[in-house]
Amino acid sequence: MFSKIIDFVKALYVICRLDAGPQKLPSSTALLTGSLIAYILGRMWVESLDHSIAAAGFLGVFDALLLVLVAGVPLTLLKFGNRILQTLTAMACAGVVVCIAQLFLSFLLGDLPLPEERFTRVVTFLTLPLLLWKVLINTVLLKSALSWGFLPALGLSLGHLLIVFLVGGPLASGLMG
pLDDT in tens, 61-95: 999 999 999 999 999 999 999 999 999 999 999 99
Amino acid at 160: H
Maximum alpha-carbon separation in the chain: 53
Q: Cβ distance 127 to 106 under 8 Å?
A: yes
Per-residue exposure over 126-156, b if at least 16 CB sit within 10 Å of its own CB, e if not: ebeebeebbbbbbbbbbbbbbebeeeebbeb
What is the model's pLDDT at position 69? Answer: 96
Amino acid at 98: V
What is the model's pLDDT at position 176? Answer: 66
What is the model's pLDDT at position 51? Answer: 83
**Left (φ > 0), alpha (ψ -120 to 50) or beta: where does 114 sit?**
beta
What is the model's pLDDT at position 121? Answer: 78
Cα(137)–Cα(127) distance, integer angstroms = 16
What is the model's pLDDT at position 177? Answer: 57
What is the model's pLDDT at position 126? Answer: 82
- All residue ranges of the chain with pLDDT < 50 are none
